[in-house]
């Protein structure tokens, strides 16, 4: 994976994952049904961009894409789904997800069996899809194998835009080594977190360049660096700035050579501004930014991928020090959204769930909380077509070429049928088991409860 001999435990886990993946794709979990074509009739369309619903329409899906949309009748040999006047909308997109880190505890990530952790992630991927999230941008973790299993229909799950291992510095956010692991021997053995592909330590422009290229070699659609301190890492205060500008620029150059971009984890003005100076295209989080930094982001056209953190629910698995850092982040949530609105920053929606199956089940509820700052239509647009626009920054490294996040002719067929109107009542997304009556990804039906009515 890294140009070094793969540890036996990792290779055994990879074999185990491949051998048992069929179990997770069996009828006991979400499995797809695909006909030559699917025709949705009598649906009102939220297209992912317009804040109003269409008149009653028909939508024909064929060969993974939306072939035709009409307010009149469409004649085709196809499986017919009568929406009964319900709303058809694009599948949801989470722009900041950690597919491998949702369910295990921090200790299990670092010391648990890799094969089991892979299976746990596969189960969570299926649950994610069944919550209506048909695409995620993975912002750190060894998700390449999971993505491959999903793409090959071994496991039901969302499309994954992988970053691979997050790149950090000694003592930075993402460095989960213990003090007993120091000093680091340059060119020596990799730490456990590096062996499993969770994060990579890089303490010079040359090391950053190598680690970024390694992720791109494995199929990263974008590169993730931690430019400042973070909540979950034990030796990383929130206020610290980590990478130097030349180090950040080395990653940007490597990514741009591959036609893609760098996103940085950054909360503070210094970390954000240094990232921008180095050529970073997207800031993750930004909760501690100030007015001048927000204005700079807007002027430079920098994306903000942030999360509506309103309480400590996501920090339940963390220690007291980490929970204190989370309080600081929560305190900045109102400010970051206010500044994003004030300056018209291009803003993406994500959840950044870590180490909590229960919190992951609130993925839709987190989307609904955006109505503290946005209308329901604006919030749903952010989680569909706006997030898809961010994904397109991957350029030729985009693993899923085609239009996502919209209901348009020629777009990829990731679709939800909602029992109710989410533009009037966005809280419908909080209960996907009840309210998402059809879930389609890539033209395949993973759920159709209308067939039983």
To 10 degrees, the CA torsion angle through 336, 342, 347, 352?
10
pLDDT at 28: 42
- Whether residue 7 is predicted with pLDDT greater than 70 in this model: the reply is no
pLDDT tier at 29 (50, 70, 90 boundaries)?
A: very low
Query: Is residue 447 pLDDT above 50, yes or no?
Result: yes
Cα distance between residue 365 and residue 351, in whole Å: 10
Give the single-character DSSP code of 429: G
pLDDT for the residue numbered 314: 67
Residue 12 has pLDDT above 80, yes or no: no
Q: Tally Cβ neighbours within 10 Å of residue 168.
A: 29
> For the chain, what is the radius of gyration of the CA atoms?
21
Confidence of residue 151 (pLDDT cuts 50, 70, 90): very high
In this prediction, residue 111 carries a pLDDT of 87
Which pLDDT score is estimated for 1?
Answer: 33
CA-closest candidate to residue 6, choices 212, 214, 190, 216: 190
Q: Average pLDDT for residues 155-179, to the nearest whole number?
A: 94
Mean pLDDT rounded to a whole number for the chain: 91
Confidence tier at 24 by pLDDT (50, 70, 90):
very low
Confidence of residue 14 (pLDDT cuts 50, 70, 90): very low
pLDDT level of residue 188 (50, 70, 90 thresholds): confident
Give, in order, the Cα–Cα distances in Å from 409 to each of 30, 67, 250: 27, 5, 40
What's the CA gap between 133 and 137, in Å, rounded?
11
314 close to 333: Cβ distance less than 8 angstroms: no
Query: What are the CA-CA distances from residue 163 to residues 137, 173, 261, 394, 413 (Å)?
Result: 8, 16, 10, 11, 24
* C-beta of residue 136 within 8 angstroms of C-beta of residue 150: no
Q: Distance (Å, rounded) from C-alpha 102 to C-alpha 10?
A: 20
Decide if 28 contacts 130 (C-beta within 8 A): no
pTM above 0.85, yes or no: yes
C-alpha dihedral (50, 52, 56, 57), degrees to nearest 10: 0
Q: Are 141 and 197 in contact (CB under 8 A)?
A: yes
Looking at residue 15, its pLDDT comes to 43
Domains and CATH numbers, the chain: 37-91+406-452 (2.30.40.10), 92-373 (3.20.20.140)
When pLDDT is averaged across residues 114-120 and rounded to a whole number, the result is: 94
CA distance 58 to 195: 50
| Angstrom distances, CA of residue 27 to CA of 35, 132, 148, 190, 294 | 17, 19, 20, 40, 48
The answer to whether 152 and 54 have CB atoms below 8 angstroms apart is no
Please give the sequence-ordered ranges of beta strands (E in DSSP) within 202-356, or none if there are none. Answer: 223-226, 262-266, 282-285, 303-306, 347-349
Whole-angstrom distance, CA of residue 390 vs CA of residue 94: 11
Residues paired with 223 in a beta bridge: 262
Mean predicted confidence (pLDDT) in 359-373: 97
Distance from chain centroid for Cα 365: 16
326/362: higher pLDDT: 362
H-run or E-run covering 338? helix 333-343
| Statement: residue 421 has pLDDT above 80 | yes
User: Do the Cβ atoms of 92 and 393 come closer than 8 Å?
Assistant: no
Q: By mean pLDDT, which of 113-117, 251-255, 313-317, 448-452 is the weakest?
A: 313-317
367, containing H or E segment: helix 363-368
Q: Which range, of 99-108, 163-172, 247-256, 407-416, averages the lowest pLDDT?
A: 99-108
- What lies within 8 Å, CB to CB, of 237 at 6+ separation is 229, 325
**What per-residue confidence (pLDDT) applies to 33?**
62
Q: Compute the distance between CA of residue 360 and CA of residue 362 in angstroms, rounded to an integer.
A: 5
- The per-residue pLDDT for range 202-260, each reduced to its tens digit, is 999 999 999 999 999 999 999 999 999 988 888 888 899 999 999 999 999 999 999 99
The backbone torsions φ and ψ at residue 45, rounded to the nearest 5 degrees and listed phi first, read -105, 125
% of the chain exceeding 90 in pLDDT: 77
Residue-level pLDDT at 234: 83
Assign 127 a pLDDT band (cuts: 50, 70, 90). Answer: very high
User: Looking at residues 366-375, what average pLDDT do you find?
Assistant: 97
Provide the pLDDT confidence category of residue 13 given band limits of 50, 70 and 90: very low
Instruction: Note the pLDDT tens digit of each residue in 31-54.
Output: 566 557 999 999 999 999 999 999
pLDDT at 347 over 50: yes
- Out of 9-18, 182-191, 377-386, the most confident range is 377-386
Query: How does pLDDT run across 375-420, given as a tens digit for each residue?
Result: 999 999 999 999 999 999 999 999 999 999 999 999 999 999 999 9
- Written in H, E and C, the secondary structure of 187-242 is CCCCCHHHHCCCEEECCCHHHHHHHHHHHHHHCCCCEEEECECCCCCCCCCCCCEC
**CA distances for 371 relative to 76, 85, 310, 380, 424, angstroms:** 40, 25, 13, 10, 11
- In the predicted structure, residue 269 carries a pLDDT above the cut 90: yes
């Amino acid at each position: 994976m890294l140009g070094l001999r793969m540890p036996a435990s990792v290779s055994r886990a990879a074999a185990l994952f491949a051998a048992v993946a069929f179990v997770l794709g069996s009828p006991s979990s979400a499995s797809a049904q695909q006909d030559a074509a699917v025709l949705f009739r009598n649906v009102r369309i939220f297209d992912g961009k317009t804040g109003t619903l269409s008149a009653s329409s028909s939508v024909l899906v064929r060969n993974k894409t939306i072939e035709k949309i009409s307010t009149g009748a469409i004649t085709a040999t196809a499986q017919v789904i009568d929406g009964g006047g319900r709303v058809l909308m694009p599948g949801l997109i989470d722009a900041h997800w950690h597919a491998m880190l949702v369910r295990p505890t921090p200790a299990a990530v670092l010391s648990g069996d890799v094969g089991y952790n892979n299976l746990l992630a596969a189960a969570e991927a299926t649950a994610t899809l069944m919550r209506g999230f048909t695409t995620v941008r993975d912002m750190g973790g060894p998700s390449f194998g999971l993505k491959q299993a999903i793409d090959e229909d071994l496991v039901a799950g969302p499309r994954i835009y992988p970053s691979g291992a997050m790149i950090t510095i000694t003592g930075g956010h993402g460095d989960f080594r213990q003090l007993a692991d120091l000093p680091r021997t340059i060119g020596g053995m990799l730490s456990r977190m590096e062996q499993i592909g969770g994060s990579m330590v890089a303490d010079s422009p040359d090391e950053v360049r190598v680690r970024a290229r390694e992720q791109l070699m494995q199929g990263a659609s974008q590169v993730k660096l931690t430019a400042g301190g973070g909540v979950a890492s034990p030796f990383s205060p929130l206020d610290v700035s980590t990478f130097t500008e030349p180090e950040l620029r080395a990653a940007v150059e490597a990514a741009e050579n591959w036609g893609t971009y760098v996103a940085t984890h950054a909360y503070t003005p210094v970390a954000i501004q240094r990232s921008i100076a180095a050529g970073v295209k997207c800031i993750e989080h930004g909760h501690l930014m100030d007015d001048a930094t927000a204005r700079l982001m807007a002027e430079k056209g920098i994306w903000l991928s942030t999360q509506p953190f309103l309480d400590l629910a996501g920090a339940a698995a963390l220690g007291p020090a980490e929970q204190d850092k989370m309080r600081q982040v929560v305190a900045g949530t109102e400010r970051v959204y206010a500044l994003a609105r004030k300056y018209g920053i291009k803003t993406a929606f994500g959840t950044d769930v870590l180490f909590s199956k229960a919190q992951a089940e609130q993925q839709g509820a987190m989307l609904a909380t955006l109505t503290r700052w946005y209308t329901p239509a604006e919030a749903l647009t952010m989680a569909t077509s706006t997030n898809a626009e961010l994904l397109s920054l991957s350029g030729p490294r985009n693993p899923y070429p085609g239009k996502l996040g919209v209901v348009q002719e020629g777009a990829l067929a990731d679709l939800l049928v909602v029992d109710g109107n989410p533009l009037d009542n966005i809280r419908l997304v909080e209960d996907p088991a009840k309210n998402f009556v059809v879930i389609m990804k890539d033209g395949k039906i993973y759920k159709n409860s209308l067939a039983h009515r």
